[in-house]
Structure 1
Amino acid sequence: MVPWQGNLSFRVYNPDKPKKYGIKAYMFCDAVTGYCLRLKLYPGKSETPASANGATYDLVMDMMRGYFGQGYILYMDNYYSSPQLYTDLFVLGCGATGTLRVNRKGIPQRIKDKKYHDRKVVYLLSTIEEAAKAPCGRVAPRTGTPIENPAIVNVYNKYMGGIDRSDQMVSYATFNARTLKWWKRVIFHVISLATLNAYLCYKTLTPRKPMLHRVFRKQLVTELVQSVNRACVPGMSTKPVGRPSTAAEPIMRLQGQHFPMKIVGTGIKKNITRACVVCSVAERQRLESIGEKRKRAGKESSYQCDKCLSALCVDPCFKLFHTHKDYIAAYKTRVMVNK
């Protein structure tokens, strides 16, 4: 369940889940490690009519496509199990074991008569396991005798926790930021799931003293950031996006010796002028504040700084540009207030 409490046509409510409202996701995981092989979101009521065997039958067959005939065993809960599904999976070369809803359509009476009573009556169905008694690995606290369960129960309890294990580990690093976009929740859930899959692969390849999941995530983020910083993609612009910052400018502009020099052209024209980077910007901002628009504002100068190569009026813009971090605010304070 991908948590989501906003308005959404295919949002579901499940009282058995820790997060009761959200987007349902069907998962197909490895029974031992919890590695997610496939993920399919529940999109609400489908426009395509279900087959005669039901929508859950169609879902399982679609998720298992590509794994038939290879000797895999599928474990599932009673939401999916049915005799017809298990029979067809067996014909396609795939075993199946799971609990069963006895009121499901097509359940023979002889299956209803065969039940296992734990704290409550449990019905199980399998095409590969037997109902013979087998030790479960525990002993009775008073007598010390081994506790025996049907073999099908022991196998089901052993291999049915793959999805729960995956959900548990993903929940440790959930996307908790508030958002009005449901698809952002899904995207970050899929990213967390992919990160978990990478960690499970790492643990398989590193059997001795693997790092913790949280340490793996931090190291993964660090290496991804470093790889982006080292990457040099041809054609990608390195110009920062957004309003230019003046934080990095004072290093050159406010240090050293700067002198005005005449702007020299490369063509026939001799007297070349450019808009002053101080007063032209300040005047344009002032005019915009009073609702007046002009193509040109401020002054144009035929002088520039010999090091910065920025066009500047000799007085007072040249001095303000090289002595104030925020030269626009300094110009407004010194010049525009006097007006």
Structure 2
Amino acid sequence: MVATKAHTGMTQYMKAKPTKWGFKLFVLADSFNGYTVDFVIYTGKSQFSSGVGLAYDSVMSLIKPSFLGSGYHLYVDNFYTSPKLFMDLYSMGIGACGTYSENRRGCPRTQSNALGKKDKRGTITWIREGPLVFVKWMDSREVSICSTIHPAYTGKTVRRRFKETVDNWVTKDIPCPQPIMDYNKYMGGVDLSDQLIQYYSVHHTTKRWYRTLFFHFMDIAATNAYLLHKELSQEKGDKPMTHRGFLEELTAQLCGVSVMVPPVKAPAQHLPVAISEQEDLKKRASYGRRSCAHCRETRHKRQATPWKCLACDVALCLIADRNCFQEWHQE
């Protein structure tokens, strides 16, 4: 969701989202680093006319074998998961895995794959239909997942805490299906992409709704450029720049300038200045006088002077027959 409350035909309201008002984007992102591979802006129902459904059409519009090829694994949430989508992706050489809802068309609703409320934590049931496997697992609540990549169970376990008595908690290992373990591991690409984009965003308040989208596109491009920079630096064995440093350098190059370096303060000049800042001319020679530091060290006398060094802040004599200012700085 790209936040905006502009009155356009594309503005959507989604109650369950942290950003409730805005433009809705369907995003395909890399699970490992959050690289945004492609995205589609939802402009309304008329945008997809296949008749299969919004979830199916949005995924198929992002999966382009011309540049993706085959052999990839796609992880989606329960909004997109459907047997037809997964079978069509399987025919393209792309495996898929995702949670699903009980009322989704094509999903099995038999008692052989059902879990009851009294089933123990770690209970697993599954049904296989060709390349599709439908798995249900009882954790703190029932979890349903569908996959064309995994077997139902490979013997792996996860650790969970159980309450044996009122004040006694124990940790046990319970069986966990392989699809759920991989789903939890790889189902964070879009969230990671959003997180990286929000770190250093160029978005700011504007009255032109199309500028909001343009700023978001700039954020996507800049974030992708930084991720590519990290990959190339690691291949070369170099230390990559920080995210902020990279964006500063990118901005400077786009503007045709160099990155601003904090100015170095010029060293203070050793100049004689009056100790007292009296506005009355008659009092400048007598008010604020201090003993000369050079006279104390060399002549062992306390000679009062109205002058001091601007840089050293040391009182020094400056008269015709006694130039302590010059002698002090020469030493």
The answer on 1:214 being equivalent to 2:241 is no
Deviations 1:10-49 (A, max 9, x none): 2111223221110001111111111111011001121663
Length, aligned pairs only: 228
Please list, as runs of the form range in 1=range in 2, the aligned pairs for 1:144-293 lying within 5 A after superposition.
146=173, 148-207=175-234, 209-226=239-256
* Unaligned segments of structure 1, at least 5 residues: 229-339
Pair 1:140–1:48, CA change in 2 (3 A): closer
State how far apart, in whole Å, the 2-side matches of 1:159 and 1:63 are: 18
Pair 1:220–1:54, CA change in 2 (3 A): same
The structure carrying a bigger strand percent of its residues is: 2
State how far apart, in whole Å, the 2-side matches of 1:23 and 1:145 are: 45
Aligned to 2:95: 95
Please list, as runs of the form range in 1=range in 2, the aligned pairs for 1:13-28 lying within 5 A after superposition.
13-28=13-28
Aligned to 1:265: none
State how far apart, in whole Å, the 2-side matches of 1:75 and 1:89 are: 12
In the TM superposition, what is the alpha-carbon distance from 1:194 to its structure 2 partner?
A: 0.6
**Aligned residues of 1:68 and 1:94 also touching (Cα < 8 A):** no
Pair 1:117–1:15, CA change in 2 (3 A): farther
Aligned to 1:108: 108
**Aligned residues of 1:10 and 1:43 also touching (Cα < 8 A):** yes
**Aligned residues of 1:27 and 1:39 also touching (Cα < 8 A):** yes
TM-score normalised by structure 2 residue count: 0.62
User: Which segment drifts farther, 120-129 or 103-112?
Assistant: 103-112
In the TM superposition, what is the alpha-carbon distance from 1:131 to its structure 2 partner?
A: 2.1
**Aligned residues of 2:158 and 2:176 also touching (Cα < 8 A):** no
State how far apart, in whole Å, the 2-side matches of 1:181 and 1:153 are: 43
* Unaligned segments of structure 2, at least 5 residues: 115-125, 127-135, 163-168, 259-331
Pair 1:204–1:140, CA change in 2 (3 A): farther
Amino acid in structure 2 at the alignment position of 1:106? G
Deviations 1:145-183 (A, max 9, x none): 555421111100111101100001111223442211111
Amino acid in structure 2 at the alignment position of 1:26? F
State how far apart, in whole Å, the 2-side matches of 1:98 and 1:81 are: 6
Aligned to 1:40: 40
Aligned to 2:138: 117
Please list, as runs of the form range in 1=range in 2, the aligned pairs for 1:290-329 lying within 5 A after superposition.
none
State how far apart, in whole Å, the 2-side matches of 1:35 and 1:127 are: 24
Aligned to 2:53: 54
Deviations 1:117-153 (A, max 9, x none): 2232221000011221554675769656555421111
Deviations 1:75-132 (A, max 9, x none): 1111111011111111121100011121112222249634222232221000011221
Aligned to 2:4: 4
For residue 256 of structure 2, give the secondary structure of its aligned residue in structure 1.
Answer: helix
**Aligned residues of 2:102 and 2:109 also touching (Cα < 8 A):** no
Aligned to 1:129: 150
Amino acid in structure 2 at the alignment position of 1:217? L
User: Which segment drifts farther, 192-201 or 218-227?
Assistant: 218-227
TM-score normalised by structure 1 residue count: 0.61
State how far apart, in whole Å, the 2-side matches of 1:117 and 1:78 are: 17
Deviations 1:274-326 (A, max 9, x none): xxxxxxxxxxxxxxxxxxxxxxxxxxxxxxxxxxxxxxxxxxxxxxxxxxxxx
State how far apart, in whole Å, the 1-side matches of 2:107 and 2:171 are: 39
Amino acid in structure 2 at the alignment position of 1:204? E
**Aligned residues of 1:133 and 1:148 also touching (Cα < 8 A):** no
Pair 1:217–1:38, CA change in 2 (3 A): same
What percentage of residue pairs aligned between the two structures are identical? Answer: 37
Aligned to 1:280: none
